[in-house]
Each structure stands twice: as structure tokens, then as C-alpha cells.
């Protein structure tokens, strides 16, 4: 029995190490190559394979600066200051969730969200959060802030089977992400917490309020 437990533990350790090597190798490759698909895209496709994934890569300088400012203002105001984790933001989110008695705030940074989108899945668990932290730590040390934001903008979900700012801009406005206006960028950033719902509910009161806040704080956000 003891030998069986030892073998099982060794297998688990080897599996964990293999996962870390896969993440490290992927991050090393993606430092200079476009990210054409993510774990979130794969899960979406496997769940609904009848519909194609809409996604087009765009380099950092091909994306409107309005969109970069809007995402930072909406998702991670301390993006340039932290090393992947906003501890004050996490504490604030925990306190809000405790007061409300349910999860109303996440506290995840852009880097953490990207790590989850690239390698993991949405289901909450301690194992997933631990792996998310490990992937975020590696990413922040292997990539520049500009690269992290570039990949985030190219991979985040904006609606049903819609990934990345270029596909989103084409879907919602029929043009390139290079020519997004300030209002349009704020709208796209505002739908990020629940894109599939807001895709069909663009006049939702909470969405209009969130868009207004983003427009207000965009001028104060700093981008790489």
C-alpha cells in the first residue's frame, strides 16, 4: 500500500512538472509568434463545434490606443505597476464578496485573466487558481507588459465564438480595430465581464453604467 501511494505521488508530481514545462515552452514560443488559439477557444469549439471561432490576430500597433486605454481602465488600473498580482485589488474583491454574500468581484489582473484564457478553464477550484498563479508568474517574467496586453486583446472573449478585438470590432461595428473610436472602445471593454449576455442586451442598464465609468477613467489609464 505504501509503495502504491509513493508511485501515485510520483506520477502526480511528474504530471504537474510536465504541465509547467508545456506552459513554459508555450510562453517561450509566443514571445515572438502570434497566439492563434487558446484553451478557452478550444473548449468553446469542442462544446459547440457547429459554429466556427471568429478570431483574427492584430499586432499591438494595429490596435487603436483607445481600446488599450479602455481595457486597462476597465480591467486592471494598476497593470503597469504590479508583477502579475494586485494584492490590494484581491483584498477589496474578497471584502465585497463577503459583504454581498456572493461573488460580485474577481480581483484578477489582466495577466491572470490571460493565463486562464491561454491554458486553463472557467471552473473555480484551488487547483486551477494555483496553476493560474504559476502561469501568471512565468508570463510576467518572460513577456513585456506590451506583449501581455497585445496577447490579451487578441484572445479575450467578446461574445459567442468571438475572440480578440479585431473579430469583435468586425462583428459589432463592421470595421478594423485600428479605427475604433473612444465610445466604441469603451463599449467593447464594458462587455468583457459577461460578453455573451451583453452581445444580445446592448441597452442593459448595468452595461451603460459601466461604459460611462470606463469613458470617465480612460484618460487616467496608462498603457505600455
3 state SS for 175-218: CCHHHCCHHHHHHHHHCCCCHHHHHCCCCCHHHHHHHHHHHHHH
Please state the separation of Cα 180 from the chain's center in Å: 20
pLDDT tens for 23-70 read 999 999 999 999 999 999 999 999 887 789 999 999 999 999 999 999
Backbone φ and ψ for 135, nearest 5 degrees, come out as -65, -40
Which residues lie below 8 Å from residue 172, measured CB to CB, with a gap of 6+?
A: 158, 184, 187, 188
Whether pLDDT at 206 is above 70: yes
124-179: pLDDT as tens digits:
778 888 999 999 999 999 999 999 999 999 999 999 999 999 999 999 999 999 99
Query: Please, how many CA atoms are within 13 Å of residue 57, restricted to the half-sphere of its CB?
Result: 11
All cell numbers assigned to 138: 512565468
159 by DSSP, 3-state: which? strand
Amino acid at each position: 500500500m505504501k509503495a502504491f501511494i509513493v508511485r501515485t505521488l510520483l506520477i502526480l508530481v511528474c504530471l504537474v512538472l510536465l504541465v509547467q514545462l508545456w506552459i513554459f515552452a508555450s510562453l517561450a514560443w509566443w514571445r515572438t509568434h502570434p497566439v492563434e488559439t487558446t484553451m478557452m477557444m478550444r473548449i468553446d469549439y469542442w462544446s459547440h463545434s457547429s459554429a466556427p471561432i471568429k478570431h483574427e490576430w492584430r499586432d499591438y500597433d494595429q490596435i487603436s490606443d483607445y481600446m488599450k486605454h479602455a481595457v486597462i481602465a476597465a480591467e486592471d488600473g494598476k497593470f503597469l505597476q504590479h508583477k502579475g498580482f494586485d494584492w490590494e485589488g484581491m483584498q477589496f474583491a474578497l471584502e465585497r464578496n463577503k459583504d454581498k454574500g456572493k461573488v460580485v468581484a474577481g480581483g484578477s489582473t489582466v495577466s491572470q485573466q490571460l493565463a486562464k484564457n491561454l491554458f486553463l478553464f472557467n471552473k473555480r477550484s484551488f487547483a486551477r487558481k494555483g496553476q493560474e498563479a504559476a502561469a501568471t508568474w512565468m508570463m510576467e517574467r518572460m513577456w513585456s507588459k506590451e506583449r501581455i496586453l497585445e496577447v490579451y486583446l487578441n484572445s479575450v472573449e467578446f461574445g459567442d465564438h468571438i475572440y480578440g478585438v479585431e473579430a469583435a470590432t468586425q462583428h459589432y461595428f463592421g470595421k478594423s480595430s485600428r479605427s475604433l473610436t473612444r465610445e466604441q472602445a469603451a463599449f467593447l471593454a464594458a462587455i468583457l465581464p459577461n460578453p455573451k449576455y451583453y452581445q444580445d442586451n446592448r441597452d442593459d442598464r448595468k452595461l451603460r453604467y459601466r461604459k460611462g465609468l470606463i469613458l470617465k477613467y480612460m484618460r487616467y489609464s496608462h498603457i505600455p
